[in-house]
Amino acid sequence: MTTIDLLIHARWIIPVEPEGVVYSGHCLAVHEGRILDLLPAAEASTRYTAATTLHLDEHALIPGLINAHTHAAMSLLRGLADDLPLMEWLNQHIWPAEAAWVSPQFVQDGTQLAIAEMLRGGTTCFNDMYFFPDHTARVTAASGMRASIGLILIDFPTAWAANADEYLHKGLEVHDAFKDHPLITTTLAPHAPYSVSDAPLEKIVMYADVLDRQIHMHVHETRDEIEQGIAKYHERPLARLHKLGLLSPHLQAVHMTHLTDDEIALVAASGAHVVHCPESNLKLASGFCPLDKLIKAGINVALGTDGAASNNDLDMFSEMRTAALLAKGVSDDATSVPAAAALRMATLNGARALGLGDITGSLLPGKAADITAVHLGDLETQPLYDPVSQLVYATGRDKVTDVWVAGQHLLKQRKLTTLDETEMVAKACTWAQKIRPS
């Protein structure tokens, strides 16, 4: 008998890879933060003795969900300015609020709130883009969550940096500080084609190659962005990014709502990844990402929520359902993006887009024990014929009971173990009174 840290018995285990496989009556063996084994329960009882054994007889175990596009600290701006077009929302509301209030403390408190929400919704890793990324990284590491921290770059000055060179310099310092951290990775994060000029983007390409970092960027989010690009640079933004060398397997192109067939072929040939944010796109009326065409072109598509200021939640179960349903409506094809594909977008595809496919995103032996347990025994999920279908089309984040990141039990029977819920709610209320006094 081998002594291990944790043995989880579950009604279903959905590893995501191999694709389409669902194990019934199996166990996950976890030791020293990694998945040691996935095996039938009868074999587990003869092979392992565990410090902790859990029996989740009405649960499905899935890989921890990966939110591939966030602005975590913007949780403190949730609901501040709703039902507005993107540029009006940004120029007249969000950017002025950020200029007035963004600070290390704002980022720390907003990020903690976001992490708590994501953990309670089954998310174990997020890909962030925001100011003061050093504070985002510290708060995330202290919580025990996994994250890819964006080293933001934008042409205009903010509370974080005065110009492109300072953004790069400070971002590289954050990279150096966390380059050996087991849970924190970094990505280069130029904001968007309309907000970053050519010279800084050329430096981003160079650093991505030298440091082997991903590039996290809003691309073709709105029709207005494309028109601005044509007016200023005399070409569409994707063509400009291609000319500058950004289209490569390093690129995570977020939103991608306005694409020609030729542009889809260009992205596919480059090996770039797309991060689809269906609910934020819908709320801001940004357009429809041609998800079915992207998948059929062989492009790796991940899922993100965007920030809570434009969504207004960080709920990956909702994003899976919306992505699947919207793809069917846009493509006029009910077979487009079946439930298993939506789950893969929210797990393994996200890991691969972040450059973490060898670490997380599926429940394979050797990978990190990033695990989400979802209760499927309530009346809302009965009768149950297909657990994957039920997860995507009938289940909500409120059914998540337990979450582990690298084997650490961060959500235990719906209770956070490393964050104080009462304290975070109080801080959020204090910020609300500052930002918009009643």
What tokens does 364 get? 């394979």
Q: Say how far apart CA 99 and CA 121 lie, in whole Å.
A: 30
Residue ranges with strand state E in 71-117: none
- pLDDT of amino acid 84: 87
> For 65-353, which CATH superfamily applies?
Metal-dependent hydrolases (3.20.20.140)
Report the percentage of the chain scoring pLDDT > 90.
Answer: 96
**CATH 2.30.40.10, domain 2-63+369-406, yes or no:** yes
Residue 331, sorted as left (phi over 0), alpha (psi -120 to 50) or beta, turns out to be alpha
Beta-carbon contacts of 415 under 8 Å, excluding residues fewer than 6 positions away, are none
Give the pLDDT band (50/70/90) at residue 438: low
- pLDDT of amino acid 425: 97
Is 348 within 8 Å of 357 (Cβ atoms)? yes
Smallest CA-to-CA distance from 214 within 241, 246, 180 is with: 246
- pLDDT of amino acid 85: 82
3-state DSSP helix/strand/coil percent for the chain, to nearest 5? 40, 25, 35
Termini Cα distance of the chain: 63
User: Cα dist. 151→71, 166, 191, 193, 336 in Å?
Assistant: 12, 11, 10, 16, 35
Domain boundaries, the chain: 2-63+369-406, 65-353
Tell me what the pLDDT averaged over the chain comes to. 97
pLDDT digits (tens, 9 = 90+) for 80-132: 999 988 788 888 999 899 999 999 999 999 999 999 999 999 999 999 999 99
Tally of residues, the chain: 438
pLDDT digits (tens, 9 = 90+) for 127-181: 999 999 999 999 999 999 999 999 999 999 999 999 999 999 999 999 999 999 9
Is 350 within 8 Å of 362 (Cβ atoms)? no
Per the DSSP assignment, residues forming a β-bridge with 153 are 190
Is 111 within 8 Å of 73 (Cβ atoms)? yes
pTM of the model: 0.98
Whether 424 has a pLDDT exceeding 70, the answer reads yes
pLDDT digits (tens, 9 = 90+) for 283-300: 999 999 999 999 999 999
The DSSP 8-state label assigned to residue 129 in this structure reads E
- pLDDT of amino acid 144: 98
Is 70 within 8 Å of 314 (Cβ atoms)? yes
pLDDT digits (tens, 9 = 90+) for 222-241: 999 999 999 999 999 999 99
Per-position DSSP letters for 4-49, written without gaps between them? EEEEEEEEEE--SSSTT--EEEEEEEEETTEEEEEEEHHHHHHHEE
Residue 287, sorted as left (phi over 0), alpha (psi -120 to 50) or beta, turns out to be left
- pLDDT of amino acid 428: 97
